[in-house]
């Protein structure tokens, strides 16, 4: 459900309060200066204990040779997510997420091929909730690989909720679910009462650990 009333100027603090209430901002397009709060009746989530890694994705993780980095080019990831014909990321939203990143509330997981940024995902963290904002891919399966590494990291850091906002066919193939708004708010309340770390101490998984982390919990043959 979208509230069509234009918002007053949003600050990073207001944005965080919105996430804690279960709502998030979007613009109609990159050129539309208006921002609206969104509160879907059906909410997309990616269960951290139910991420699906197919055999083909497992092979991609093991053989791609891509380097995984965290928070080394947050701006590049947000720009990559907005680099498409239609996007909800306008200039104000971009600035807000940059501010949250500087304050330690927004993070990026990036895939690199040499010196080229080829994919990634970014989101906002509060308590043990990760609000996944967007992802992009410049190589086949790059966004899926980024999600696999993100899910593994969130589990290691003690997160309990991966909010994807909406459920897309792409996310559904990876184990994404759609739940009623009331159920989402219950899960959000529980997650906000806990603590988690996006960069847990000593965390440095191998590609094999990430590739094998979902085997037996939904791995498919595709």
Residue with tokens 């804690």: 20
**Residue-level pLDDT at 44:** 97
Backbone angles phi, psi at 93, to 5 degrees: -65, -40
Domains of the chain: 42-86+105-212 (3.40.630.70)
User: Which of 204, 7, 24 lies closest to 124, judged by CA?
Assistant: 24
Going by pLDDT thresholds of 50, 70 and 90, the confidence category of residue 214 is: low
Instruction: Please provide the average confidence, as pLDDT, over all residues in the chain.
Output: 91
Q: Provide the pLDDT confidence category of residue 84 given band limits of 50, 70 and 90.
A: confident
pLDDT digits (tens, 9 = 90+) for 19-63: 999 999 988 887 787 888 999 999 999 999 999 999 999 999 999
Residues 6+ apart with CB under 8 A from 65: 113
Give the Cα separation of 77 and 95 in Å (integer).
Answer: 13
pTM: 0.90
pLDDT confidence of residue 38: 92
Rounded Cα gap, residues 93 and 10, in angstroms: 9
Q: For residue 8, is pLDDT > 60?
A: no
The Cα 139–Cα 142 span in angstroms is 5
Q: Give the pLDDT confidence of 123-173 residue by residue, as tens digits.
A: 999 999 999 999 999 999 999 999 999 999 999 999 999 999 999 998 999
- In the prediction, which pLDDT does 217 show? 42
DSSP state of 2: B
pLDDT at 221 over 50: no
């Amino acid at each position: 459900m979208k509230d069509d009333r234009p918002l007053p100027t949003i600050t990073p603090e207001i944005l965080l309060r919105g996430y804690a209430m279960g709502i998030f901002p979007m613009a109609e397009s990159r050129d539309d200066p208006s921002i609206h709060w969104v509160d879907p009746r059906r909410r997309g989530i990616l269960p951290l204990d139910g991420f699906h890694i197919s055999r083909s994705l497992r092979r991609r993780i093991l053989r791609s040779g891509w380097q995984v980095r965290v928070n080394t080019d947050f701006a590049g990831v947000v720009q990559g997510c907005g680099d498409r014909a239609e996007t909800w990321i306008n200039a104000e939203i971009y600035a807000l997420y940059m501010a949250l990143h500087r304050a330690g509330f927004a993070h990026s997981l990036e895939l690199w091929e040499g010196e080229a940024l080829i994919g990634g995902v970014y989101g906002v963290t509060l308590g043990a909730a990760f609000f996944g904002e967007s992802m992009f891919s410049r190589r086949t399966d790059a966004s899926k690989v980024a999600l696999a590494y993100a899910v593994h990291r969130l589990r290691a850091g003690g997160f309990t909720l991966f909010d994807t906002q909406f459920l897309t066919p792409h996310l559904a193939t990876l184990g994404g679910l759609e739940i009623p708004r009331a159920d989402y708010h219950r899960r959000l309340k529980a997650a906000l009462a806990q603590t988690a770390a996006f960069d847990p101490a000593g965390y440095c998984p191998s590609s094999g650990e990430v590739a094998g982390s979902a085997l037996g919990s939904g791995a498919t043959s595709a």
